[in-house]
Amino acid sequence: MFVINPLNGEMRERPFQPAVYILASRRNGTLYCGSTGDLIRRVWEHREGVGSPFTAKYGLRLLVWYEFHGEMGGAIQREYRIKAWRRAWKLHLIEAENPRWRDLYEDLL
């Protein structure tokens, strides 16, 4: 799969890599869970306000958790399971791997 690097506009090949992710507006703020085949591009879209109306409305820009999957079907299934969880469970998931709620997007670049 060829993608355009959102930072410099260069086109490069990047493998299709299914992932589930959680965005937050701030620590313990509004949360959004999604799935994608290109995490870097998708988070960039959310940050630019074109990812979804919900993320744009609530200013969800921090990538606080993500998980890669071998197949898109597994990522989508995990997304729906997480969306059905109680908020406390989602907070525990985030804090187990990212206790400071650091923005993980830069780590992907």
CATH of the domain spanning 16-108: 3.40.1440.10
- Residue of 54, 59, 67 lying closest to 94 (CA atoms): 67
* pLDDT (0 to 100) of residue 103: 98
pTM: 0.87
C-beta of residue 24 within 8 angstroms of C-beta of residue 33 = no
Amino acid identity of residue 90, one-letter, is K
pLDDT digits (tens, 9 = 90+) for 4-50: 555 566 655 667 899 999 999 999 999 999 999 999 999 999 999 98
Distance of alpha carbon 22 from its chain centroid, rounded? 5
Q: Is 45 helix (H, G, I), strand (E, B) or coil?
A: helix
Residues 54-67: tens digit of each pLDDT: 999 999 999 999 99
The token pair at 8 is 């410099």
